């Protein structure tokens, strides 16, 4: 973009911000950066401009850039959940494209700022990722590039296994608190209480203390990364630090993973509304609709979040603007509440509840959503029943789409071995990947590791003992 | 509400190289994986059977990012139809049955693209493979055939071709002259200021070398034996043409008698009949005597056979091999022998104790790599291994 185009983009953004505020959107200060494609793709691959280095990011970058070079796909924009909010626009975009992107980005920023699940994400992640990257870089100098890389390989293999619900719980964790409470009940109520029990057998309080499980963890824990940080006996300080860095970064990205459909639908909804209010020349209007239809192109083999998300948001608006007679009669629904309802939904939901609550029968049919599955060597449509479609889409979004792995026992067989279970909910794990990932967990834990899951409706235990994989049906 | 501000900026990102650096690291790891998998990769049928220009997809396992994940193929996925999709509709098919480990649903009409395979081109493999290969014992021969390989600009003169004006030096001259005349600055370039670059031709002497590629095409050479021999020569030819400017390769096919064949024939023709290996050695000796005199040539006879020779011929073979070794740099013998039977020829060769004699027993495809590194490595390596 040349200087003149940038000047015109600035004018447009000024106007769009006014419009957006008029609609009720609420965002942080914005920093728009115009970058060449390879920079935008670097940020896309790393998730953040300042993140640490690892070959897997290079691989992602290479793939994205190749697809861009061959014209197969392109990201138009990248926006970062931070305050002020950074948005990266593509230098190669036309003025109109960047206008659309700016409108889209404003809505993303509004979403970051107002959706409850983002409330606890660090708004300074750009800076803290930069300093983490710097530390990891210094570990490379100190311990050797290969050593750090090998550790990162292992750590990245389990990075999804965090528990966002314990993010802000301060330690001691609740079972430790309970143990403390258990001890508290022993405390005498008055200075003379201990006298009364002198002639009785050892106190009940003592027994409860005995009954407090020695097992670690006493109850299954979802946060494998945190468990390793706290309980692994082989990790050095710098390794614990890297695990903590990854965990913080994953927790920062987590709400984005959980609100993909909502957030993209929201941004698409608003770029349409904002752009409609702009004075576009007829050429620009044609370009715009061309670009917009590219964004919301439905896919036969996946759920395009822009497309499905937009449809759900527009449906919410329509239904709450013009509630059906029954809702008016029974619940006193008033017409014209579409926008208000939308703002309420954007504050509270994540994809699972968004789909669960607002993907209606009519929508599933109208969008012709279906489920498909592999049958023999063909991929076939297997289901169009709306409830089954909705339920499966919801299930696929649970836990960000990652399997839930629970830490059962950190001292399995009284031998310090690690016993994990997969919370099986009808979908099997990729066996090859299990057997390739367990050695990584072993590297972090230092003792044999086990994972219990279900294969062909039978419970199975995968184990890795440091040399070989074993599996046995339970 | 205070107005929310914004900035639009465009900075110079040219120093931001992180993506490229990590991409390079990824590439290095691919190369490392290629190196580890070389024995398997170089016998990959899809490479040998094509013109060798194709990109092959090679599943390189160490580059996958493993994690706990769902089995994509045992899961229902969502999709969006055009209004008419109904149960039973086919969205896509797996093209061919999986070709090996790591071959999952790929691009094309199959859903799910998150499987990763490294695209490895023949050039990628060559780069790694040829790095450590060389013609052993290569000696300078009496008569060099000098050859111009490049030009190099290495001098600046006051006369020359105007297309070769050295602008920087010309300007410096102008500045210098003006300064000397007390009028510093950049004005008026006089003809005297002009400077021209000139070049010289770089001439590199080269040693002549010829590889005598001999292959048994008798009836006992089965599909596997021929495949192995041809795979070996396929890489040999590419290696010689990549790494050396000009090496002659003579293709000799033999059963009971030997003849010189074209490259195409060598790689495609099937033959049958009994085996008399000495026929090939005799032909090789004749070639050395008449066309490739030792005085001018480095000579590398390499013979591939299944070892199934006419027994009465073995003694003559040993004698001819010894004669060849007197004249040649090394003699390479590759025996393709899957079943580990004792072959008559190898038994006869067991008594040859000449450092020039290099033999490799090939039991499986992966051993082709062993053959390449045995024949095309310096002598020191040989003793070490």
Tens of pLDDT along A323-377? 988 888 888 888 899 999 999 999 999 999 999 999 999 999 999 999 999 988 8
Our CA dihedral for B375, B378, B383, B385, rounded to 10 degrees, sits at: -60
Nearest to B19 among A45, A91, A307 (CB): A45
* Range picked from A137-146, A172-181, B177-186 for highest mean pLDDT: A137-146
pLDDT band at B99 (very low <50, low <70, confident <90, very high): very low
Single residue among A242, A266, A301 that ends a domain in this structure: A301
Reported residue count of chain A is 474
Q: What is the pLDDT of residue A23?
A: 96
User: Which residues lie closer than 8 Å to A270 by C-beta, 6 or more apart?
Assistant: A20, A23, A25, A103, A104, A106, A107, A110
Query: Does A93 map to a domain?
Result: yes
What average pLDDT does range B15-37 have in this prediction? Answer: 83
Q: Does B90 touch chain A (CB under 8 A)?
A: yes
Residue A207 predicted with pLDDT over 80:
no
Query: Picking from A229-243, A442-456, B368-382, which range would have the lowest pLDDT averaged per residue?
Result: B368-382
Query: Picking from A165-174, A312-321, B244-253, which range would have the lowest pLDDT averaged per residue?
Result: A165-174
Does A292 lie in the same domain as A415?
A: no
Predicted complex ipTM: 0.87
| CA-angle at A249, arms to A245 and A250, nearest 5° | 115
Q: What is the pLDDT of residue B302?
A: 95
What is the Cα–Cα distance from B277 to B214, expressed in whole angstroms? 9
Whether the predicted model's global pTM rises above the 0.90 cut:
no
Residue A14 predicted with pLDDT over 90:
yes
Single residue among A276, A301, A326 that ends a domain in this structure: A301
pLDDT band at B124 (very low <50, low <70, confident <90, very high): confident
Q: What is the pLDDT of residue B15?
A: 78
Query: Does A436 map to a domain?
Result: yes
Query: Picking from A76-85, A194-203, A371-380, A430-439, which range would have the lowest pLDDT averaged per residue?
Result: A194-203
Chain A nearest-CA distance from B90, in A, is 4
Provide the chain B residues 253-292 that lie in CB contact (below 8 A) with chain A.
none
What is the Cα–Cα distance from A40 to A35, expressed in whole angstroms? 6
Measured between CA atoms, the residue of chain A closest to residue B76 is A373
Quickly tell me which residue has 């911000």 as its tokens: A17
Q: What is the pLDDT of residue B80?
A: 92
User: What is the per-residue pLDDT across A94-115, written as a single tens digit (0 to 9) for each?
Assistant: 899 999 999 999 999 999 999 9
Q: What is the pLDDT of residue B113?
A: 34
Give the up-direction half-sphere exposure of residue A221: CA atoms within 13 A in the CB hemisphere.
22
User: Which residues lie closer than 8 Å to A175 by C-beta, 6 or more apart?
Assistant: A217, A218, A219
Ordered by start, the domain boundaries in chain B are 23-60+115-131, 150-202, 208-376
Chain A nearest-CA distance from B108, in A, is 12
Instruction: Tell me the residue range of the domain where A458 lies.
Output: 403-473
Please indicate whether, in this complex, the C-beta atoms of B78 and A393 are within 8 angstroms of each other. yes
What is the Cα–Cα distance from A221 to A244, expressed in whole angstroms? 17
- What's chain A look like in SS3? CCHHHHHHHHHHHHHHHHHHHHHCCCCCCEEEEEECHHHHHHHHHHCCCCCCCCHHHHHHHHHHHHHHHCCCCCCCEEEECCCCEEEEEECCCCHHHHHHHHHHHHHHHHHHHHCHHHCCCCCCHHHHHHHHHHHHHHHHHHHCHHHHHHHHHHHHHCCCCCCHHHCCCCCCCHHHHHHHHHHHCCCCCCCCHHHHCCCCCCCHHHHHHHHCCCCCCCCCECCHHHHHHHHCCCCCHHHHHHHHHHHHHHHHHHHHHHCHHHHHHHHHHHHHHHHHHCCCCHHHHHHHHHHHHHHCCCCCCCCCHHHHHHHHHHHHHHHHHCCCHHHHHHHCCCCCCHHHHHHHHHHHCCHHHHHHHHCCHHHHHHHCEEEEEEECCEEEEEECCHHHHHHHHHHHHHHHHCCCEEEEEEEECCCCEEEEEECCCCCCECHHHHHHHHHHHHHHHCCCEEEEEEECCEEEEEEECCCCEEEEEC
Q: What is the pLDDT of residue A179?
A: 55
The number of folded domains in chain A is: 2
pLDDT band at B102 (very low <50, low <70, confident <90, very high): very low
Measured between CA atoms, the residue of chain B closest to residue A44 is B19
Nearest to B68 among A30, A31, A437 (CB): A437
Please indicate whether, in this complex, the C-beta atoms of A370 and B85 are within 8 angstroms of each other. yes
Q: What is the mean pLDDT of chain A?
A: 89
Does A254 lie in the same domain as A119?
A: yes
What is the Cα–Cα distance from A352 to A390, expressed in whole angstroms? 10
Query: Does A194 map to a domain?
Result: no
DSSP character at residue B193:
G
pLDDT band at A165 (very low <50, low <70, confident <90, very high): confident
Q: In terms of CATH, what superfamily is B208-376? A: von Willebrand factor, type A domain (3.40.50.410)
Residue B60 predicted with pLDDT over 70:
no
Single residue among A254, A285, A301 that ends a domain in this structure: A301
pLDDT band at B206 (very low <50, low <70, confident <90, very high): low
Q: Does A455 touch chain B (CB under 8 A)?
A: no
Chain B nearest-CA distance from A193, in A, is 55
Residue B23 predicted with pLDDT over 90:
no
Q: What is the mean pLDDT of chain B?
A: 80
pLDDT band at A212 (very low <50, low <70, confident <90, very high): low
| Helix ranges restricted to H, B49-106 | none
Does A407 lie in the same domain as A280?
A: no
What average pLDDT does range A260-277 have in this prediction? Answer: 95
Residue A80 predicted with pLDDT over 60:
yes
User: What is the per-residue pLDDT across B230-242, written as a single tens digit (0 to 9) for each?
Assistant: 899 989 998 888 8
Q: What is the pLDDT of residue B108?
A: 31
pLDDT band at B132 (very low <50, low <70, confident <90, very high): confident
Residue B182 predicted with pLDDT over 60:
yes
User: What is the per-residue pLDDT across A396-418, written as a single tens digit (0 to 9) for each?
Assistant: 999 999 999 999 999 999 899 99
Nearest to A17 among B4, B68, B92 (CB): B4
Query: Does A438 map to a domain?
Result: yes
User: Which residues lie closer than 8 Å to A288 by C-beta, 6 or more apart?
Assistant: A96, A100, A275, A280
Does A44 lie in the same domain as A160?
A: yes
Q: Which residues of A touch B74 (CB under 8 A)?
A: 374, 427-428
Residue A311 predicted with pLDDT over 90:
yes
Structure tokens given for A220: 């299954």
Q: What percent of chain A has pLDDT over 70?
A: 89
Q: Does A386 touch chain B (CB under 8 A)?
A: no
Give the up-direction half-sphere exposure of residue A231: CA atoms within 13 A in the CB hemisphere.
20
């Amino acid at each position: 973009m040349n200087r003149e185009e940038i000047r015109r983009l600035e004018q447009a953004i000024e106007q769009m911000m006014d419009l957006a505020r008029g609609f009720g959107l609420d965002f942080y200060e914005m920093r728009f950066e115009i970058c060449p494609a390879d920079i935008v793709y670097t940020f896309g691959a790393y998730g953040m401009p300042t993140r640490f280095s690892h070959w897997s990011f290079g691989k992602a970058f290479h793939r994205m850039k190749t697809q861009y070079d061959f014209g197969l796909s392109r990201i138009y924009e990248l926006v970062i959940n931070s305050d002020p909010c950074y948005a990266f626009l593509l230098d190669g975009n036309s003025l109109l494209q960047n206008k659309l992107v700016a409108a889209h980005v404003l809505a993303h920023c509004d979403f970051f700022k107002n959706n409850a699940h983002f409330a606890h994400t660090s708004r300074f992640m750009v800076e803290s990722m930069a300093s983490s990257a710097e530390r990891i870089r210094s570990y490379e100098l100190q311990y050797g590039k290969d050593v750090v890389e090998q550790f990162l390989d292992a750590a990245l293999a389990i990075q999804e296994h965090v528990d966002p619900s314990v993010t802000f719980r301060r330690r001691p964790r609740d079972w430790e608190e309970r143990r403390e409470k258990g001890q508290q009940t022993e405390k005498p109520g008055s200075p003379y209480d201990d006298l009364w029990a002198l002639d009785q057998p050892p106190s009940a309080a003592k027994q409860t203390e005995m009954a407090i499980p020695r097992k670690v963890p006493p109850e299954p824990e979802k946060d494998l990364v945190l468990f390793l940080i706290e309980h692994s006996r082989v990790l050095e300080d710098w390794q614990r630090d890297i695990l903590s860095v990854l965990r913080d970064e994953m927790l920062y990205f987590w709400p984005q993973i959980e609100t993909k459909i909502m957030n993209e639908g929201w941004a698409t909804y608003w770029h349409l509304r904002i752009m409609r209010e702009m004075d576009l020349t007829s050429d620009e209007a044609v370009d715009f609709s061309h670009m917009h239809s590219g964004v919301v192109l439905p896919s036969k083999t996946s759920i395009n979040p822009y497309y499905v998300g937009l449809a759900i948001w527009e449906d919410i608006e329509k239904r709450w603007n013009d509630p059906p007679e029954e809702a008016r009669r029974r619940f006193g629904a008033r017409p014209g509440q579409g926008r208000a309802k939308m703002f309420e939904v954007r504050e509270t939901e994540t994809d699972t509840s968004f789909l669960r609550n607002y993907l209606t029968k009519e929508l599933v049919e109208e969008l012709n959503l279906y489920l498909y599955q592999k049958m023999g060597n063909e991929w076939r449509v297997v289901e169009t029943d709306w409830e089954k479609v909705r339920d499966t889409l919801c299930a696929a979004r649970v836990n960000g789409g990652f399997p839930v792995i629970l830490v059962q026992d950190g001292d399995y067989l009284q031998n310090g071995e690690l016993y994990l279970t997969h919370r099986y909910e009808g979908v099997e794990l990729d066996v090859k990947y299990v057997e390739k990932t367990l050695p990584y967990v072993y590297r972090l834990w230092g003792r044999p590791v086990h994972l219990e899951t279900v294969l062909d409706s039978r419970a199975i235990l995968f184990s890795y003992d440091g040399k070989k994989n074993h599996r046995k049906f339970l | 509400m205070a107005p929310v501000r914004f900035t639009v900026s465009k900075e110079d990102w040219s120093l931001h190289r992180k993506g490229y650096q990590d991409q390079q690291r990824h590439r290095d790891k691919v190369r490392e994986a290629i190196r580890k998998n070389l024995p398997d990769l170089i016998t990959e049928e899809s490479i040998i059977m094509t013109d060798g220009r194709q990109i092959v997809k090679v599943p390189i396992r160490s580059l996958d990012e493993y994690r706990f994940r769902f089995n994509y193929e045992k899961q229902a996925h969502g999709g969006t139809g055009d209004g008419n999709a109904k149960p039973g509709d086919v969205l896509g098919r797996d093209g061919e049955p999986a070709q090996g480990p790591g071959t999952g649903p790929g691009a094309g009409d199959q859903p799910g693209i998150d499987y990763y395979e490294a695209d490895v081109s023949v050039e990628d493999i060559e780069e790694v493979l040829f790095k450590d290969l060389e013609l052993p014992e290569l000696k300078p021969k009496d008569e060099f055939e000098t050859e111009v390989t490049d030009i190099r600009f290495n001098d600046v003169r006051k006369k020359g071709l105007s297309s070769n004006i050295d602008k920087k030096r010309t300007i410096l001259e102008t500045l210098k002259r003006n300064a000397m005349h007390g009028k510093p600055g950049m004005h008026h370039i006089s003809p005297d200021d002009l400077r021209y670059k000139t070049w010289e031709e770089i001439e590199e002497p080269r040693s002549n070398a010829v590889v005598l590629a001999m292959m048994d095409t008798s009836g006992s050479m089965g599909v596997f034996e021929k495949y192995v021999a041809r795979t070996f020569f396929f890489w040999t030819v590419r290696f010689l043409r990549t790494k050396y400017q000009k090496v002659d390769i003579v293709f000799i096919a033999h059963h009971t008698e030997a003849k010189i064949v074209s490259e195409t024939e060598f790689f495609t023709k099937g033959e049958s009949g009994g085996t008399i290996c000495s026929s090939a050695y005799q032909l090789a000796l004749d070639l050395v005597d008449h066309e490739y005199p030792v005085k001018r040539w480095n000579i590398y006879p390499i013979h591939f056979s299944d070892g199934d020779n006419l027994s009465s011929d073995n003694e003559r073979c040993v004698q001819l091999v010894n004669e060849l070794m007197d004249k040649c740099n090394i003699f390479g013998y590759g025996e393709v022998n899957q079943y580990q039977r004792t072959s008559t020829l190898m038994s006869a060769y067991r008594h040859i104790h000449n450092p020039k004699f290099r033999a490799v027993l090939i039991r499986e495809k992966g051993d082709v790599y062993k053959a390449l590194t045995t024949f095309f490595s310096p002598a020191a390596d040989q003793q070490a291994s």
